[in-house]
């Protein structure tokens, strides 16, 4: 993508106001897939309409689900899956590819080949394919080193007890969906909690995994012979999208930021917890729940921050926020360390490298070390011209850097932000004062 966003700061930027972030990407994709597997009409309210979610939507359509779209809700008409007429192109969405792979592996009579864009085809799939093959699946990667395209022929699978070698919500969710079509119980064990949107959503579709916790581990057991039933799912706002403005709310002068109708799932709030311990002034108020997903309001105020530390067991709850956490760290007093984030190397880009390179372009020094990042602050930023490497998280990082740097900066390829946040510049204009976006 060669399009560019020019950021011009006509005076010292300030931030004030409130936004309602777009619907959560992870929850929208899960609702689409479960709606396609379920019998009947599933209604998804406040879905995210982005490049990634549309890739998932098109894929379930090609698999036989009917889709009726209105401005604020989608209806998924589940009538059973069928073989698609060609490859299923999931674009840049690793979530959609991995979850569909698990679902299709246990769906007899459907054969499909799943692929994606260049970035998605470079990301590893063995961590999903290997446990599926232990269950009896014949899923196979068609490229070397366990990369997409991946072909799967649906069949009845066997039960399994599988301990996740690394925390991964995508692998866990793929196995949960495969467990819906297994002949025996599927037990998934995790030592460190990852995002739990799938296990929260499954009961809404009439399938409630048994959760057993103890001895430093958490096991999810999928009941045998349960078929999802249509549901109504309301999607809260995406906290990962909102985190751009939360971070700037701490760092910029002004009245602060109010984020409304945002998801408050505890497995997604790690960044807030880390920054609050570093001195961030934040008020979080839960207002209710959509199904099992809590939502509410986050109020953020300008804060004097000290150096922050992220340990490996905290990473799953803040992995999407690490680029912006690294930016915040460069503005905090003292040394900051983020550990155990090597999973970022296999995201849409090598996100450890592209985070460090983006910050360096704006004048901040960040070291890649021990599978994480180290920096100290506060550091002065300066305007820059950067490319966001086709990574939507890096695009939003670059926008925040440009605002903090002042002056005039340019971000090439910024439209990749549409992967998860197509309205990012609209919200930026609503919140930022002294900043022009062209």
Q: Is 320 a catalytic residue?
A: yes
Cα-based distances in Å from 192 to 2, 166, 220, 341 = 39, 8, 13, 14
d(CA 186, CA 209): 10
Angle between the N-to-C axes of helices 322-331 and 351-361, in degrees from 0 to 180, rounded to the nearest 10:
40
Other Cβ atoms less than 10 A from the Cβ of 253: the count is 12
Structure tokens at 236: 């809260």
d(CA 380, CA 20): 31
d(CA 175, CA 177): 5
Other Cβ atoms less than 10 A from the Cβ of 288: the count is 11
Q: Are 114 and 90 in contact (CB under 8 A)?
A: yes
Q: Are 206 and 226 in contact (CB under 8 A)?
A: yes
Q: Are 73 and 28 in contact (CB under 8 A)?
A: no
For the chain, the C-alpha Rg in angstroms (whole number) is 21
Structure tokens at 194: 């990852």
Q: Are 400 and 244 in contact (CB under 8 A)?
A: yes
Helix (H) or strand (E) holding 171: helix 169-179
Cα-based distances in Å from 48 to 278, 421, 422 = 32, 8, 9
- Given the residues 320, 391, 418, 427, the one annotated as active site: 320
Note the Cα 140 to chain centre separation in Å.
Answer: 25
Catalytic residues, which ones?
320
């Amino acid at each position: 993508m060669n399009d560019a966003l020019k950021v011009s700061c006509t005076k010292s930027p300030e931030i004030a106001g409130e936004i309602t972030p777009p619907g959560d990407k992870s929850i929208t994709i899960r609702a689409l897939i479960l709606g396609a597997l379920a019998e009947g009409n599933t209604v998804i309210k406040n879905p995210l309409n982005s490049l990634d979610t549309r890739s998932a939507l098109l894929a379930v359509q090609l698999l036989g689900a009917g889709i009726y779209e209105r401005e604020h809700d989608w209806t998924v008409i589940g009538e059973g899956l069928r073989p698609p007429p060609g490859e299923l192109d999931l674009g840049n969405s690793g979530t959609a590819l991995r979850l569909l792979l698990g679902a299709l592996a246990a769906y007899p009579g459907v054969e499909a080949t799943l692929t994606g864009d260049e970035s998605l085809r470079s990301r590893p799939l063995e961590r999903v394919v290997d446990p599926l093959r232990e269950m009896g699946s014949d899923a196979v990667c068609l490229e070397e080193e366990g990369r997409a395209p991946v072909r799967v022929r649906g069949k009845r699978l066997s039960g399994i007890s599988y301990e996740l070698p690394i925390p991964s919500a995508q692998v866990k969710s793929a196995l949960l969906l495969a467990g819906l079509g297994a002949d025996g119980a599927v037990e998934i064990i995790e030592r460190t909690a990852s995002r739990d949107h799938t296990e929260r959503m499954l009961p809404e579709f009439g399938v409630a995994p048994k959760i057993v916790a103890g001895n430093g581990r958490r096991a999810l057991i999928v009941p045998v012979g349960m078929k999802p039933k249509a549901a109504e799912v309301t999607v809260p706002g995406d906290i990962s999208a909102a985190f751009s403005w939360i971070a700037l709310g701490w760092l910029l002068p002004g009245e602060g930021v109010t984020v409304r109708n945002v998801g408050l799932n505890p497995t997604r709030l790690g960044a807030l917890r880390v920054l609050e311990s570093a001195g961030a002034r934040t008020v979080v108020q839960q207002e209710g729940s959509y199904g099992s997903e809590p939502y509410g309001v986050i109020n953020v105020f300008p804060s004097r921050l000290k150096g922050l530390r992220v340990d490996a067991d905290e990473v799953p709850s803040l992995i999407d926020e690490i680029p912006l956490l690294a930016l915040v760290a460069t503005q905090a007093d003292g040394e900051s360390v983020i550990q155990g984030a090597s999973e970022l190397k296999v995201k849409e880009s090598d996100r450890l490298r592209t985070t460090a390179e983006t910050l360096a372009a704006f004048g901040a020094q960040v070291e890649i070390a021990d599978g994480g990042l180290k920096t100290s602050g506060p550091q002065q930023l300066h305007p820059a011209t950067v490319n966001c490497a086709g990574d939507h998280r890096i695009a939003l990082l670059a926008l925040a850097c440009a605002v903090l740097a002042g002056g005039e900066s340019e971000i090439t390829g910024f439209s990749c932000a549409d992967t998860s946040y197509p309205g990012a510049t609209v919200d930026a204009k609503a919140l930022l004062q002294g900043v022009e976006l062209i």
